[in-house]
Structure formats: C-alpha cells, structure tokens
Chain A
Amino acid sequence: MVKKISRSFKYVYLALMILFLYIPILYLIVFSFNNFSTGSGKRISYANLGLWKGFTLHNYTTLFSGEAGQALLLTLEVAGITSILATLIGTAAAIGIYSMKKRSRNLILNASQLPMVNPDLVTGITFMMLFAFVNTLLVSLSLKQIGDIAKLLIAHISFSIPYVIFSVMPRLRQSSDLLYEAAMDLGCSPMQALFKAVIPDIMPGITSGFVMALTMSLDDFVVSYFVSDLRSVLSVYIYSAARGAKGVNPALATVIFIPLVTLLLVVNLRRIAKEREYEIQNKKVKLKDKGGK
C-alpha cells in the first residue's frame, strides 16, 4: 500500500515537472491558431497574447512573409556553412593535435576549452569589440567593413570548432595506429592511408562533431545578438520583436517544435529499441547458459 502510494506520487511529480517544462511551448502552439487582427482593419498585433478571439490559420500563412522569414533563412545559411567549415577545420586540427608532442598538445587543448568555459555573454562582447576594432581600422584605410553575415560566420565557426575537436579526439585515441601502418604496408600513400583508413575509422566522431556544431549554431542567441548590427538570425529577431510593441508570431513555436520533437523521438526511440533488443538477447543468452548447465 505504502509502496503503491509512493509510486503514484513519483509519477505525479514527474508528470507535473514535464507539464511545467512544456507549458510555454503548448501555450504558444495553442495561441498560434488565435485570431490577432485588431479592430476592423487587417492590422495584426501579437501583443495581446492571452485573449482568445477565434480560430484562424492566418498566422501560419503569413509566418515567413516578413522579417522572420529572412531571419530563418539566414539562421539556416549560417548554421549550414558553420557546421561544414567547423567540421573540416576541427577534424584536421584534431588529427594534427593528436600527432603532436604531449606538451604542445595539452597547451592547445587547454586553450581550446576557453570558448567552451567562457560564458556566452563574454564570448559575444569580445567578438563585438574585435569586429569594432577591425572595422574602424578598415574605415581608416578606406576599405570595406566586415558585414553582418561574415561576422556571424566567424563567431559561430569559432565557438563550434572546439566541440568538433573534442568529439573527434576520443575516437582518435580509440583508433589504432596499426590501421594507418597496415594501409601503408598495403601500398597506400600517407594521404591515401589517412583518407581510406583513418578517416573512416573516426567517422562517428566527425559526425557527432558536425551535429554538435550544427546545434550550437542553430541554438545560439547571445553571441549573434552582440555580433550583428542590422541583419541577424532568428533568435535575435525573436528577442527584438519580443521587446518591441508588435510581439512575435506564436506559430514560430509550432514550426520549430514539431520537427524537433519528431527528430529527437525518432533518433532516441531507435536507440531505445536497440537497447531493448540487446536486453532481450542478454536474457536469452543467460537462459541458454542455465539450460546448458
């Protein structure tokens, strides 16, 4: 009896916490179907995001027509280029650092932790000041200034590379040097051995580094906010719209949330299914062992 109560209490607690975490997301999704037109005209104001005025799909049809669409496009562009370049530079760096002597290796790895330990706020303002300094220098030389997109790219690539290095590094440590030597013995040139033997072996690390860089870039708000002036990514758009009078179109929540949940659930359910299979097989093996004896 006591056990039953404590068990149901556990489930109630978990349910309440999950509810707490999902309340704002569900709130936005519900209100994304709300009619926001004010007065008689076609003017839309998302400011009063708490008053239900009737069902409409209008918010979805206009979602990406304005600034939000441009911001989303820029977010995807920056994230795409960032993740590719950060993976290339980071993987090459990991291979290079791995072959270094212990002292220089540790020095570089420690320095690489700097952007991971640094608070976003500090990373953001340091980049802001760097670009301000460089731009004033460029102006005094009457050259073209660095634009927002280049600034965003440089900043995003910089804070993503360490995550790639630290995902590839453990894989390199696991991978055997013999693999490389075997490829050479079988007639590969050093380059070929690298690309045909070493790279495929560390591929899982490279892939997870790529995914890390992609999510870091997609998720970033603080650094982008300080770095960019005129054009920026989606989260910066949301921030300035949220502080402005007009508000944010709540339909954004749905279009971000639904693909995200689907993706995460598919990936994780596959992992869980594999674990389950493994468990069942383990049990079978154990049963067989017992039967054999």
Chain B
Amino acid sequence: MKRKFFAYPYIVWMILFIVAPMLFIFYYSVNVGGQWTITKAWATLSDAGKWKILWTSVDMAFKTTLICLLLGYPIAYILSNMKKTVAGFLSVLFFVPMWMNFVLRTYAWQAILEYFLPNLLGMKDGTLTGTEAAVLMVLVYNFLPFMIMPLYNTLAKLDKSLLEAARDLGANSFLTFVRVVLPLSVPGIVSGITMVFIPAITAFTVPALIGNGKYYLYGNEIELAFKTLSGQGDYAVGSTLSIILLICVVVSTIIMNYFDKDQKQGGQMW
C-alpha cells in the first residue's frame, strides 16, 4: 500500500496556508491597491525613525535576554542540584505561569504599575507605566520561564560523575562550575537565548499595555500599520517593516545555530 498518500492532504494544506501566505508579505510590500509600486516601500525603508525604533527593540530584546539569563541560570542550577522529587515539584511551580494567558498577566502588571504601586507609594496621579524600565521588567517577567526551561533540562541531564571527577582532580566548587558545568550547559544557554531573544524583538503586547503610549517598540509599528482603528491598515508599510523584521530573525537564528554547532564540535574534541 502506498502510505505516502496519507501525507497529501497535509502537503496541500501546507502549500495553501503555510507557504503561500509567506509570499503575501512580498506581494503587498510592492503592490498598493492592485498597482505595482515601490514608492511606499522605499519611503518606509528611508524613514530614519523606523530604524531607530528597530534599534531600540533589538537593544530591549538584548537586555531582556541578558537579565533572563542572569536570573534564570541560578534558578535552573539550584533546581538541578535538588532531590529529584523536590525539583520536580518546584519546576512545575516555575512553569505554571507559562500556561496562564499571558495577555491577562500583562494586564495585571499594567494594573499594578498604574494603580496599585503609585497608591502604595503615595504618588498623586502618578503612574509607573510608560517607562523603559517598566516595559523591560514585564518582558523579563514574561520570558523568564522560557529561559529556565531549557537551562533546567540541560543541567538536570548533566552527568554528576563528571563533577565528582573534577573534584577528585583537585578543583574547588567554583572551578568545577566554571570549567565543567558552564561549558556543558552551553546548549541550554543557546536554546534559552533563542527562546527569549526572537520573541522579545517581535513583542508588541507588552509595550502596548505597559508602554502607555509613551514607550513602544518595533512590533507596535507593525501592529499600527496593519490594525488601525479605521478598518484596513497600510499593508505596504506593514509588509516592508515585516520583511526587515524577518531578516533580523533569520540573521539571529543563523548566529544561534552557528554557536550551537560550534559547541557540538567542541564538545566532541574534548
């Protein structure tokens, strides 16, 4: 029996709804209302303001990833050194928020920063939203579990006898960590960075709710281009912005893959 026929419905589906939609980004960037033109795309590309926001977003994504790594690595490390049953229970606690609707959690932060903390601190008519720090904190909040998960998975699988060997060979616990644990956890670090950095560049929900109209990122530019309140947005601008975003994502994926491969080869050499 030819079993490969089973894949045909999916292949048709994939071409129609996964491959074809991608082409529309390119189609709409140079086609405005049925007319082929590059004026809008060119106007978008030569808008210095857009590039500035792109840079702000990359910078923000970088900061988010770094803070998530610095906060998340100790958590994953501590969990991986605990008794398996305790670590199992605690890790569930860390991953539960991931499953909770993240728009709702971001809304909660909006309420806390806009009403609760200012009331508590006695700030009259003050609000803590609309600042870079507020957006950064909520981004870290949203992405922290995505950093902890791959780190914990890698660290938990680490062969403990290697640590004993390092200790037997005279390394103290700090040296053991730097020379053994850290290099072996690089795959976890790389996949953690990928899981945080790329979604962070494209984030638009958090700046929309926490930025309070004063602080916004590249994702909001795209959202604005497509979803204006008055019906249809400007597809040409949005598509052009999306192409730039896609290029950023592809470049960072390639860089990440490079580091991942580098690590694998290095691991074999040791």
A197 close to chain B: CB less than 8 A: no
Closest to A10 in B: B78
Would A221 and B102 count as touching, CB distance under 8 A?
A: yes
Chain B residues, CB < 8 A from A206: none
B101 on the A face (CB < 8 A): yes
- A112: interface (CB < 8 Å): yes
Cβ–Cβ < 8 Å partners of A31 in chain B? 111
Beta-carbon contacts of A129-155 to B below 8 Å, as 1s and 0s? 110110000000000000000000011
Q: Indicate whether A114 reaches chain B with its CB closer than 8 angstroms.
A: yes
**B201 contact set on A, CB distance < 8 A:** 119
Q: Which single member of B3, B18, B24, B141 contacts A20 (CB below 8 Å)?
A: B141
Closest Cβ of chain A to B261, distance in Å, is 16
Complex-state Cα separation, A95 to B6, whole angstroms: 7
A122 to B245, Cβ gap below 8 A?
A: yes
Whole-angstrom CA separation of A250 from B116 in the bound complex: 14
Do A18 and B253 touch (CB < 8 A)? no
CA of A190 to CA of B106 in the docked complex: distance in angstroms? Answer: 52
Q: Are A92 and B6 in contact (CB under 8 A)?
A: yes
Q: How far is the CA of A288 from the CA of B255 in the complex (A)?
A: 52
Confirm or deny: A49 has a beta carbon within 8 angstroms of a beta carbon on chain B.
yes
Chain B residues, CB < 8 A from A126 = 21-22, 24-25
For residue B13, CB closer than 8 A to chain A, the reply is yes
The segment from B48-56, B85-93, B155-163, B182-190 found at the interface with A is B85-93
Please classify how large the interface on chain B is, using the bins under 10, 10 to 19, 20 to 34, 35 or more: 35 or more
| Majority secondary structure, B binding face | helix
Instruction: Indicate if A239 sits at the interface (CB-CB under 8 A).
Output: yes
- Complex Cα distance, B248 from A121, in Å, reads 13
- Docked Cα-Cα span, A264 to B97, in Å, equals 11
Map CB proximity to A onto B192-219 as digits: 1 under 8 Å, 0 otherwise: 0000001101101100110000000001
Is the beta-carbon distance between A121 and B24 smaller than 8 angstroms?
Answer: no
Asked if B269 is an interface residue, CB under 8 A from chain A, the answer is no
B178 within 8 A of A: no
Contact check, B3 vs A96: say whether CB atoms are below 8 A apart. yes
CA distance A219 to B202 in the complex (A): 17
| Contact indicator B10/A93 (Cβ below 8 Å) | yes
State whether B115 touches A238 (Cβ < 8 A).
Answer: no
- Number of chain A interface residues as a range: 35 or more
Chain A interface helix/strand/loop/mixed: helix
Question: A121 near B17 (CB under 8 angstroms)?
Answer: no
Q: Given the complex of chains A and B, what is the CA–CA distance between A221 and B122 in angstroms?
A: 35
CB neighbours (8 Å) of A250 from chain B are 108, 111
Instruction: Give the distance in Å from the alpha carbon of A108 to the alpha carbon of B19 in the complex.
Output: 11
Assembly CA distance A275 to B8 (angstroms): 41
What chain A residues lie within 8 Å of B100 (beta carbons)? 25, 253, 256-257, 260
Q: Is the CB of B104 within 8 A of A28?
A: yes
Q: Does B43 contact A (CB under 8 A)?
A: no
Question: Contact at B21–A127, with CB atoms within 8 Å?
Answer: yes
Say yes or no: is B109 at the interface (Cβ < 8 Å to chain A).
yes
Interface: A202 (CB within 8 A): no
In the complex, chain B residues whose CB is within 8 Å of the CB of A121: 202, 204, 219, 222, 242, 245
Among B11, B92, B115, point to the contact of A51 (Cβ < 8 A).
Answer: B115
> In the complex, what distance in Å separates the CA atom of A260 from the CA atom of B27?
42
User: Which residues of the partner chain A approach B202 to less than 8 Å between Cβ atoms?
Assistant: 119-122
Residues from chain B with a CB closer than 8 A to the CB of A115 are 18
Cβ of A69 under 8 Å from chain B:
no
Contact A96 B14 (CB under 8 A): no
Chain A 228-270, CB within 8 Å of chain B: the 1/0 string? 0000001100110011000110101100110011001100110
Residue ID in chain A nearest B119 by CB atoms: A50
Q: Does A271 contact B (CB under 8 A)?
A: yes
Asked if B104 and A253 sit within 8 Å, CB to CB, the answer is yes
Q: Given A14-B75, A21-B97, A111-B18, are A99 and B103 also a contact pair (CB < 8 Å)?
A: no
A79 at the interface (CB under 8 A from B): no
CA distance A93 to B10 in the complex (A): 6
Check if B227 sits within 8 Å of A226, measured CB to CB. yes
In the complex where A115-B18, A121-B222, A226-B226 touch, is A50 in contact with B11 (Cβ < 8 A)?
no
B9-48 interface bits toward A, Cβ cutoff 8 Å, 1 = contact, 0 = none? 1110110011111101101100000000000000000000
Give 30 A-B contacts (CB < 8 Å), ordered by A residue: A17-B144, A20-B144, A27-B111, A50-B112, A50-B117, A95-B7, A96-B5, A96-B6, A98-B3, A100-B7, A111-B14, A119-B199, A119-B249, A121-B245, A125-B226, A127-B21, A129-B28, A154-B17, A158-B17, A158-B18, A161-B14, A190-B1, A191-B1, A219-B101, A239-B209, A256-B100, A264-B96, A268-B88, A268-B92, A279-B85
Which residues from chain A sit less than 8 Å from chain B, CB to CB? 10, 13-14, 17-18, 20-25, 27-28, 31, 48-51, 89-90, 92-93, 95-100, 108, 111-112, 114-115, 117-122, 125-130, 132-133, 154-155, 157-158, 161, 165, 190-191, 194, 215, 219, 221-222, 225-226, 234-235, 238-239, 242-243, 247-248, 250, 252-253, 256-257, 260-261, 264-265, 268-269, 271-272, 275-276, 279
A-binding residues in B (CB < 8 A): 1-11, 13-14, 17-22, 24-25, 27-28, 71, 74-75, 78-79, 84-85, 88-90, 92-97, 99-112, 114-119, 141, 144-145, 198-199, 201-202, 204-205, 208-209, 219, 222, 226-227, 232, 235, 238-239, 242, 245-246, 249, 253
